Amino acid sequence: MAEKPGAKPRSRSGAKTRAKKDDFKNLLSPIEIKGVVIPNRIALAPMNTLMSLDNRGYVNDQVLAYYAARAKGGCGLIITECVLGTELASRFPYTSNLHCFNASHMPGLAELAETIHAFGSVAFVQMSIGFGRQGHSHAGERPPAPSVVPMMISPEYMPRGFGKALEKHPQMIERAGGELPYEMSVEEIRREQDEFANSCRFAVGAQFDGIELHAPHGYLEHQFLSPLTNRRTDLYGGSLQNRMRFLVETFLKVREAVGPDFILGVRMSADEHLPGGFTHQEALETARTLAALGADYIHLSDGSYEALKYFFPDDDGAILPESANFKKAVEVPVICPSVHDPHTAEEAISQGKCDIVSLGRQMFADPEWGNKVASGQVDKIRRCLRCNECLMRTAAGLPVRCIQNPNTGRERFMPEYWRPPIKAKPVTKMRIPPKLPELRRFS
């Protein structure tokens, strides 16, 4: 069931209880991925907050303070919103995204990684090769996609409360509908992959600890995976092996570009949940393939714009049953989103259903979630109502706000989220991406 405002944990008899720190020993235990120690199992889920404001893709003070608040609030791992990784991708944003595809984007991203580190968290950047038919041109262009397939948004696949919210924000329907895409040529696919792999080198140079490839939710990689949106008859369409090719090739090119020692994970939908779409079994097979090729973790999500109620679940822990299947399928860590209740999160980790929980909307409602769990003040957590007002705002093209937390989106005005002064300490070790053959370099 969705959380009630200010809901307090209760014992079986109905009496109010106060959680103890020890109740969350799994959730609060560290986990190591490729030598990087994440201090607990709490991650900020990647969320595009539209705080890049101008669609020129640069980090600003609001972006820094928003992430600082979640790092300071006890997220051991911060995963950034999806950052567009090619020039073509940047022409078809959601509304306004961060960019990382040339050297001018690096300094701002480096400030962001440094800020997250200054507040004691590990920093992963989520990199996107594009939104395909779910992207929007500001210049009336058609977006690139595997095949020419229009969007079909149907009310039965919408989360609870969306009807009401849509009345308030009618622009959302227009945006969600997307534009009719064009079919990418094989040459363009390979050019995009090469540019994207090179962009990931800028992210390494910006001193992030890891990169997460953004392949869920009906975006470009997902469109290649799905038989609904991939009608190709060439090497990139047809069998699962062919539909997986775009993601696998992209993964391998990025791996080559960032080197074997750098953390590289993949986010994907556990199921498309649409008749004739990418199935849960196919998703498990894809995850197995990626893990065998060296993916360092799998971050799950679910659904797509056309199956939005799975993308933004109404119920706590809705993705955990699928996550448990991924845990059986792969040996690398599995991150599961949308577990807002700390007791459910603790139980899921202790029962081996996931290794890390990623919190999205709950972190808009209360960035101090992690600290409150760690200090046994679970009853003080300001609960997310899953009302989707935050989402509606961004869908309407406005930066994120939360009805439970008036400070979300205004963190730049709060000095506690300004980066603390650092005692002089020379930078001794920098991450530098490996050398690439001359032909594969972009400037």
Ligand X SMILES: Cc1cc2nc3c(=O)[nH]c(=O)nc-3n(C[C@H](O)[C@H](O)[C@H](O)COP(=O)(O)O)c2cc1C
**Residues labelled catalytic:** 219
Q: In the bound complex, what is the minimum distance in angstroms from residue 263's beta carbon to ligand X? A: 17
Q: What is the dihedral of CA 354, 342, 19, 404, to 10 degrees?
A: 170
Hey, which residues between 84 and 143 contact ligand X (CB under 6 A)?
126
- Residue found by looking up tokens 């995204």 in the block: 97
By CB under 6 A, name the one of 41, 253, 267, 273 that touches ligand X: 267
Closest CB to ligand X among 255 and 267?
267
By CB under 6 A, name the one of 39, 46, 132, 333 that touches ligand X: 46
Q: Is 112 exposed, middle or buried (0-12, 13-18, 19+ CB in 10 A)?
A: buried
By CB under 6 A, name the one of 85, 132, 337, 367 that touches ligand X: 337
By CB under 6 A, name the one of 33, 47, 145, 149 that touches ligand X: 47
Closest CB to ligand X among 321 and 434?
321
Taking residues 332 to 371 in sequence order and writing x for each that binds ligand SF4 by CB under 6 A, - otherwise, the string is -----------------------------x--xx------
Stretch in the footprint of ligand X (CB under 6 A) among 101-109, 154-162, 200-208, 386-394: 386-394
Number of residues that bind ligand X (CB under 6 A): 23
**Nearest alpha carbon to residue 44 among 80, 2, 68, 98:** 80
**Are residues 195 and 89 in contact, defined by beta-carbon separation less than 8 angstroms?**
no
Closest CB to ligand X among 243 and 361?
361
How many other C-beta atoms can be found within 10 angstroms of the C-beta atom of residue 150?
Answer: 11
By CB under 6 A, name the one of 206, 287, 391, 392 that touches ligand X: 391
Q: In the bound complex, what is the minimum distance in angstroms from residue 169's beta carbon to ligand X? A: 13
- Please state the φ and ψ torsions of residue 163, each to the nearest 5 degrees: -55, -50
Closest CB to ligand SF4 among 151 and 403?
403
CA separation (Å) from 282 to 278, 322, 327, 410? 6, 12, 15, 41
**Are residues 217 and 301 in contact, defined by beta-carbon separation less than 8 angstroms?**
yes
Residue 361 touches ligand X, criterion: CB under 6 A? yes
How many other C-beta atoms can be found within 10 angstroms of the C-beta atom of residue 80?
Answer: 26
Q: In the bound complex, what is the minimum distance in angstroms from residue 386's beta carbon to ligand X? A: 7
By CB under 6 A, name the one of 362, 404, 405, 408 that touches ligand X: 362
Q: In the bound complex, what is the minimum distance in angstroms from residue 359's beta carbon to ligand SF4? A: 10
Residue 201 touches ligand X, criterion: CB under 6 A? no
Q: Is 176 exposed, middle or buried (0-12, 13-18, 19+ CB in 10 A)?
A: middle
Closest CB to ligand SF4 among 110 and 403?
403
**Are residues 275 and 282 in contact, defined by beta-carbon separation less than 8 angstroms?**
no
Q: Which does 348 bind (CB under 5 to 8 A by kind): ligand SF4, ligand X, none?
A: none
Directed axis angle between helix 280-292 and helix 240-258, to 10°?
A: 30
**Nearest alpha carbon to residue 78 among 370, 306, 289:** 370
By CB under 6 A, name the one of 223, 229, 394, 408 that touches ligand X: 394
CA separation (Å) from 299 to 144, 262, 350, 354? 25, 17, 18, 10
**Nearest alpha carbon to residue 345 among 19, 18, 116, 70:** 19
Bin 57: left if φ > 0, else alpha if -120 < ψ < 50, else beta: left
Closest CB to ligand X among 194 and 366?
366
Q: In the bound complex, what is the minimum distance in angstroms from residue 304's beta carbon to ligand SF4? A: 19
Hey, which residues between 384 and 423 contact ligand SF4 (CB under 6 A)?
384-390, 402-404
Directed axis angle between helix 320-329 and helix 280-292, to 10°?
A: 40
Hey, which residues between 71 and 130 contact ligand SF4 (CB under 6 A)?
none
Residue number closest to ligand X, CB atom: 360
d(CA 384, CA 401): 12
Q: Which does 144 bind (CB under 5 to 8 A by kind): ligand SF4, ligand X, none?
A: none
Residue 172 touches ligand X, criterion: CB under 6 A? no
Q: Which residues bind ligand SF4 (CB under 6 A)?
A: 361, 364-365, 384-390, 402-404
Binding site for ligand X (CB under 6 A): 45-48, 81-82, 126, 214, 216, 267, 301, 312-313, 337-338, 359-362, 390-391, 394, 400
